[in-house]
Amino acid sequence: MKNNLEILKRCGVRPTPQRIAVVKYIFESKGHPDADTILENVRKTCPTISRATVYNTLNLLVAKGLLQTQILKGRTVIFDPNTQKHHHFVDDATGKVFDIPWDTLKVSQNKTLQGFQVRDYQVIMRGRRES
């Protein structure tokens, strides 16, 4: 496990206790938490942290490229510490999000997409998670 403090320093963000706590939770939970889940959990170790600070920190981390955002369940933003290319699977029953490795799927073009310059893409799958 890499030092969370280092992560912040390396991208030129002052490593305040609040920020360290947020980073620690996100990078150690390895899930796809939304802002409220992050707030709740970070408050266990840093009880005074405010809603606004959590949002500020998350948006900062996104701007620095340490997190990606996704909207996959309902209308709430989730924060994804996996910044490598990957696809997603959303469980119908629970809404839980799973990362699908990039090389699991291959997307090929049958017909040319005239007039569209694709910068990025992903496959979003939905269904039942078994077992």
Partner DNA sequence: AATAAATATTGACAATGTTAAAAATAGGAT
Partner DNA sequence: ATCCTATTTTTAACATTGTCAATATTTATT
- Which residues form the interface with a copy of itself (CB under 8 A)? 71, 75-77, 89, 92, 98, 100-101, 103-111, 113, 115-131
Three-state secondary structure call for residue 130: coil
Q: What are phi and psi of 73, to 5 degrees?
A: -125, 125
125 binds, among a copy of itself, DNA, none (CB under 5 to 8 A by kind): a copy of itself
CB of 32 to DNA, least distance (A): 12
Whichever of 51 and 102 has its CB closer to DNA, that residue is: 51
DSSP-derived 3-state class of residue 79: strand
> Which residue reads 């992903």 in tokens?
122
Q: Does 14 bind DNA (CB under 7 A)?
A: yes
